[in-house]
Structure formats: C-alpha cells, structure tokens
Amino acid sequence: EAQLQTLAPMAPVHCFSVIDSTNQYLLERVSRLQSGESCLAECQTAGRGRRGKPWVSPFGCQLILSMYWRLEQGMAAAMGLSLAVGVAVVEALESLGYPGVELKWPNDLYYQGRKLAGILVEMSGSAGASCHLVIGIGLNLAMPERQGEKIDQAWSELRHVQPELVDRNQLAARVLQHLQQAMVTFEQSGLGSFVDNWNRLDYFAGQPVKLLMGDQVIRGIARGIDDRGALRLETDEGIKFYLGGEISLRRG
C-alpha cells in the first residue's frame, strides 16, 4: 500500500553559481537566519577544509552545501555534532541507493578507503548563551582527473559508488532533509542516538590504527566511539578514549 510521505517544511535555501565559501556566507549572516536555512553552490573560490586547509571545489563537480542551526543549549552541547552529521549524510546516501559509504573518525566520509566527502562545522557565540552553528559538507560527485590532482589525499567520488548518479537537486534535498532531522534529534537527545549507527559505519572498526597527537604516536585497535564521540582505542594498557582536537587517525 502506498504511503503518503509528508515532509517537514524546509527553511530557505540560498543558491549560488559561484561563491567564496558557503560556510562563510551563512556565518556572515547568523543573526538573520533561521535554523535549517541553507546555502548551495556550484563552485567555491575559497572553500574551507578542516585544520585551516583549503577545500578544492571546482565548478559542478561536487555537492557543496552548508546549513545553519541555532543551538539553544550553547557551544558545549555541540560536542560530537559533526559525528551525528556524518551519520546523517551517509544515511541520506543509503536512502538513495548508494551503499558501502563509511565514516572515518572524526567525520570524513570514505568509500573503499578513499575520501568521498568532508564535513566542517563552524561555530560562533559566547559561552553560556545559545550558539550559531554552520555545518558544511563537500561531497565529490564526479571530479575530472585534472581537478582531482589538486587534492592532497586519496579521494573517491559518488559515481564510483554508483555510476548512474541521481539528480543533484534530489541529492541536495535528501541530504538537507536528513541533516535537518538529525539536528532536531541531536538538539533533543545529543549524540547518544547516533552512536550505534556511527559504529556500524566505522571504516576502521576492529583494525590496527595509529593516532597522531602532536609528536606523539599511539597505536591500538579502533573500537568505535562512545556517547561523547570520543574515539575508543584498545591499547596494550587497556581501552583509552580520545576526544577531538588536533588528533588524526591513520591505518596502523
């Protein structure tokens, strides 16, 4: 029996052909935005990645989007948010028939060991008060080889997952829909309800890894995340937990 799917009304979506950065666009306007309001672009001239790195965003080759959210509980409550976002994006892809996409802690989307998409959450606001969040996603769809050469790590694209790509508007709508739903859930109950799914999608699950923290290298077996979003590492001295910051994780 056919089911009528009713969708929650969407907040405005600002669409651009070329923009400096969709995250920047929303960050500059936080005081006038409503939660869920989004920005989409075909191309970014100053796309931002994590750790201050640039994000290569050539024309028409990626899904480039950002969503604004006002978190009433304040900045401290945003911990672990990017992990929830990762789950939401993978589930959006699964729902459109793109299987096998995984998550690499803290929040890269991976396909067959290569980076498919990146997530950058930026915040503004003062401690104690509600804070402004901008959640940015860059997802490779079909990157021409010469554009891919500018990317400094092994990358994948959605057409590797499934050669027949769905319509980009449909993809954008589905990702925004899942993101919005995830934010409502996250606001109500934190990371808790995402942890099992994050662990189901964990690219490194059960594998030897090394964790790089400044000059320090810590080896262990990856055992998913806990309720705070901390990485669980099984080391010679037992299970240890690591929370965000300037940590990166590699195959051990």
115 labelled catalytic? yes
Q: Does 36 bind ligand BTN (CB under 6 A)?
A: no
- Report the nearest approach of ligand BTN to the CB of residue 100 (Å): 19
DSSP state of 128: T
Catalytic residue among 29, 50, 168, 210: 50
Taking 3-state DSSP, the helix, strand and coil percentages for the chain, each rounded to the nearest 5, stand at 30, 35, 35
Q: Is 24 left (phi over 0), alpha (psi -120 to 50) or beta?
A: alpha
Query: Residue 196 burial by CB count (10 A; 0-12/13-18/19+): exposed, middle or buried?
Result: exposed
Distance CA(87)–CA(104), nearest Å, equals 11
Among the listed residues 83, 120, 176, 231, the single contact to ligand BTN using CB under 6 A: 120
**CB-CB contact of 57 with 50 (8 Å):** no
Q: Does 106 bind ligand BTN (CB under 6 A)?
A: no
Contact mark string toward ligand BTN, 2..21, x via CB under 6 A: -------------------x
Contact mark string toward ligand BTN, 61..90, x via CB under 6 A: ---x-x------------------------
List contacts with ligand BTN (CB under 6 A): 21-23, 44, 47-50, 53, 55, 57, 64, 66, 108, 118-120, 136-138
